[in-house]
Structure 1
Amino acid sequence: MTMTVAAVGVHVLDTHVLGISSIPSGSDGQLVETIRMSAAGTAGGTALVLARLGATVRSYGAVGDDPVGDTLLALLRRSGVDVGGLVRKPNAQTSASVLPVQPNGDRPAWHCIGANGAFTLADLPADVLDGVTHLHLGGPEFLGGDAAGELLARARAAGITTSVDVLAPGDPDMLAWIAAALPHTDYLLPNDEQVLGFTGAPTLAEGARALLGHGVGCVAVTQGARGALVAVGDDVTEVPAYPVDVVDTTGCGDAFSAGFLRGLSLGHPPIAAAALGCATAAQVAQGLGTDAGTYDLATVQALTK
């Protein structure tokens, strides 16, 4: 089935540093194994993986008019994403993160919000939803719930499937900030820490059900090595992860979102779509960044068989 996606919101350039034995003190240096850049963000990373999985993808958001932005746009283009909807903000730097990946898998991060903080609905062209089958909004907190809800409601009125992934940590105040967007969200794609933080629920299943109570159609929650949990109506189902040799888990949440949404576009019910999401995350975990390796839809589908 044809899938044309408008990926709106947070776009980031990640710099991964692999082979960190410790963070050097003072002005000391250290040789590392790999330094690699990749496109990331709850909109940008998901956009790239969706393109890898065969969807037609248009990115919308804000980047700086700087070399970091040039690199980010080039990486998205190379994977087949249409970047014509990314506006350049001359007075803001492109959002970026530096991620030192340590031997035990820990990956502390330095992050600059940059141009993502300057993105508004006014940056979107009038034809943003033309020909679109799916609107994915990454980082509704940057727009605010009312503006995010306005965009999602427009999409729903046009018969477009909507999904939302929040970047910020889970907090009840954050949930209140984006609450106006949730009744217009077909699929909410948080991680487990966000669900528990947003709701204060004692279990992930109860937290997912609580989010359904805000008007969301389906909640698909990532749980790291435990896979995913899908809540629809009265049903809550665990979907296991696929065992792989993990290099770095950066971008796995975005990869899950892309695989899940692509599965839905292929006619899969939410549980089967979540299995495709877990398989996509497993593929990304075996490298550095969302674009590591040469995976495509067939490669990911093979993991689920």
Structure 2
Amino acid sequence: MSTTISVVGVHVLDTHVIGVESIPSGSDGQLVETIRMSAAGTAGGTGLVLARLGADVSSFGAVGDDMTAVTLLALLAEEGVDVTGLVRKGEHQTSSSVIPVRPSGERPAWHCIGANGAFTLEDLDPAAHLADHVHLGGPEFLGGAAAGELLAAARSAGATTSVDLLAPGDPDMLAWIADALPHTDYLLPNDEQVLGFTGAADLADGARALVDAGAGCVAVTRGARGALVVTRDEVIEVPAYAVDVVDTTGCGDAFSAGFLLGRAQGRSLADSAALGCATAAQVAGGLGTDAGVYDLASVEAFMAVTPTR
């Protein structure tokens, strides 16, 4: 029987523009290599990858009543994600980003928060709590008290929980979502967020501080250096896989998906983080979380033959 997972929170339509050497002046134009759309967000992107890996995924959040929503929902549904839990907010546009990727791989972004900022617990279908696992992407939009209420309800229904944030690391942001941490089994930040939230000079020390704040486990992405997994009892370093990087957009969401599926399947923390790194490598080689063709079997085959960095 497949693992059932609810992804709650941030859903975004990304538009990737590859080969942007500069922003044209005035009304001039510029030819680029590729323009491509993908489903993204700390809930939407993670949910899409989880579905590709074989989980039974339902999305919960808010989108606008616009053609951006039509595209986003179609991209998710095509991958097998149940999108009936995404409510329409007619007074807001669907959240979207435009990501110009330079030849160097740098990727600044323009982002519109849109309907993600209007999503509240009143919009949440109670069915979201009934999955094996509930993943909250973007607790900063709900605030810690509401996020804690959501995660506590999920745990009461027997689910495990996880949290990923979009916001940059800042001590005030950590204070804003602090009420959610005691109800979080897995916190999934990146290295810059951990150091920013805690003010720590050492990544492991920063992750321990987040465990002390209530998170059961902190699995930190470190870009080309892989991941660091920290609990109250251990610190585990997991290397990244060697891959030719095209675009790193969505790699964090892909890591989260691989890691969470691994834990749902009963894999160790180290093996789950390795699955997360291998899944992120699939995304790094293309544009967006739905880049290329991969499933759990192909990711595991990739792990068997690909060296780590």
1:79-113 Cα distance to aligned partner (Å, 9 max, x none)? 11000000010000000000000000000100000
* 3-state DSSP of counterpart to 1:128: helix
Q: For 1:158 and 1:41, locate their aligned partners in 2 and report how far apart those are by CA, in whole Å.
A: 25
The aligned residue for residue 74 of structure 1 is 74
> Partners in 2 of 1:7 and 1:27 — Cα distance?
41
Q: Distance in 1 between matches of 2:226 and 2:125?
A: 37
* Residue matched to 1:183: 182
Task: Work out the CA distance in 1 between the residues paired with 2:89 and 2:128.
Answer: 19
Matched, 1:272 2:274: no
Question: 2:105 is aligned with what amino acid?
Answer: G
Partner SS for 1:127: helix
Give the structure-1-normalised TM-score. Answer: 0.98
Partner of 2:165: 166
- Give distance in 2, aligned partners of 1:264 and 1:237: 15
Q: Aligned partners of 2:227, 2:126: CA distance in 1, in Å?
A: 36
Match of 1:230 in 2: 229
| Structure 1 Cα separation of the partners of residues 250 and 18 of structure 2 | 15
How much is the aligned-residue C-alpha RMSD, in angstroms?
Answer: 0.8
Does residue 134 of structure 2 align to residue 135 of structure 1? yes
What's the offset of the Cα at 1:156?
0.9
**1:19-168 equivalent positions in 2, closer than 5 A:** 19-130=19-130, 132-168=131-167
Q: Unaligned 5+ residue runs, structure 2?
A: 305-309
What is the CA–CA distance in structure 2 between the aligned matches of 1:170 and 1:259, rounded to whole Å? Answer: 23
TM-superposed deviation, 1:54:
0.1
Q: For 2:149, what is the secondary structure of its paired residue?
A: helix
Distance 2:210 2:163 in 1: 13
Q: Which residue of 2 aligns with 1:208?
A: 207
Rounded to whole Å, the distance in 2 between the matches of 1:78 and 1:242 is 28
SS of the equivalent of 1:129 reads helix
| Segment drifting more, 262-271 vs 193-202 | 262-271
Q: Which moved more, 1:35-44 or 1:292-301?
A: 292-301
Indicate conservation of the 8 Å contact 1:45/1:251, yes or no.
yes
Alpha-carbon deviations, 1:117-164, whole Å to 9, x = none? Answer: 00000001233223x100000000100000000010011112101000
Q: Distance in 1 between matches of 2:214 and 2:9?
A: 21
Report if the CA contact (8 A) 1:2-1:265 is conserved. no
Please give the alpha-carbon distance, in whole angstroms, between the structure 1 residues aligned to 2:219 and 2:76: 25
Q: Distance in 1 between matches of 2:42 and 2:188?
A: 10
1:29 is displaced (CA, Å) by 0.5
> How far apart, in 2, do the equivalents of 1:93 and 1:134 lie?
29
Amino acid at match of 2:128: V
- Which amino acid is 1:244 matched to? V
Q: Secondary structure at the match of 2:128?
A: coil
Could you tell me how far apart the structure 2 residues matched to 1:134 and 1:9 are? 14
TM-score norm. by structure 2 comes to: 0.97
**CA deviations over 1:262-285 (Å, ceiling 9, x no partner):** 111111011110000000000010
**2:38 and 2:303 mapped to 1: Cα distance?**
26
Partners of 1:32 and 1:41 lie apart in 2 by 24
**Who is 1:304 aligned against?**
303
Partners of 1:159 and 1:127 lie apart in 2 by 13
Moved beyond 3 Å, runs of 4+: none
Write the letter of the residue equivalent to 1:82: D
Mean alpha-carbon deviation: is it higher for 259-268 or for 188-197?
A: 259-268
| Contact 1:7/1:58, CA 8 A, preserved across alignment | yes
The match for 2:307 is: none
Identity of aligned residues (%): 75
Contact 1:11 1:116 in 2 (8 A): yes
**1:20 positional shift:** 1.3
State how far apart, in whole Å, the 2-side matches of 1:268 and 1:126 are: 29
1:8 has 2:30 as partner:
no
Taking the aligned partners of 1:275 and 1:211, their CA distance within structure 2 comes to 22
Question: Residue by residue, what CA displacement relative to the aligned partner does 1:169-207 show, whole Å, maximum 9, x if unpaired?
Answer: 010000000000000000000000000000000110000
How many matched pairs? 304
**What is the identity, as a one-letter code, of the residue corresponding to 1:239?**
V
* Deviation (angstroms), 1:303: 2.3
